[in-house]
Amino acid sequence: MLGRYKTVFSEAQEKEFVQHLIHLEERLFGITLSDLRTLAFELAEKNNIPHVFNTEKRMAGKDWLYGFLKRHPRLVLRYPEKTSIARAKGFNSVAINAFFDLLDSLYSKYKFSPNDIYNADETGILTVANKP
């Protein structure tokens, strides 16, 4: 919010932002409160949306964060777990079936060719975030 009275993003922009966050959650990327504040800042900056976010810290403020979470209670933000713990907890038939169902839907939607598929260890993408 700008101050406490006006939202920063339009309803359509906020809806698209929420869908992106849900998309990340479904793909097991843990989003922290700090990540959310940084993403909101980047979204506003890259789209030239007027805001009063902290330009020094490059993050949305806590007032904006709490208002956003209140408007979108379905979002579940948490610290990502270390890989070994996540693998131990997540290695079960329900999680594996959910993963392959998601993978199948992505294959159907995007028609990936075999040379476009990489192991995450080979991409340079960090799968475990360090706590600040």
Cα gap 105→93, rounded to integer Å:
18
Q: What is the per-residue pLDDT for 1?
A: 41
CA distances from 79 to 36, 52, 89, 96, 124 (A): 12, 26, 15, 21, 20
Q: What is the per-residue pLDDT for 53?
A: 93
Q: What are residue 118's phi and psi, to 5 degrees?
A: -130, 150
Q: What is the per-residue pLDDT for 113?
A: 84
- Closest among 95, 97, 98, 79 to 87, alpha carbons compared: 95
Are the C-beta atoms of 17 and 40 separated by less than 8 Å?
A: yes
In this prediction, the residues of the chain whose per-residue pLDDT falls under 70 are 1-6, 78-90, 120-132
Can you give the residue ranges of every domain in the chain?
11-71, 85-111
Q: Is the pTM of this model over 0.85?
A: no
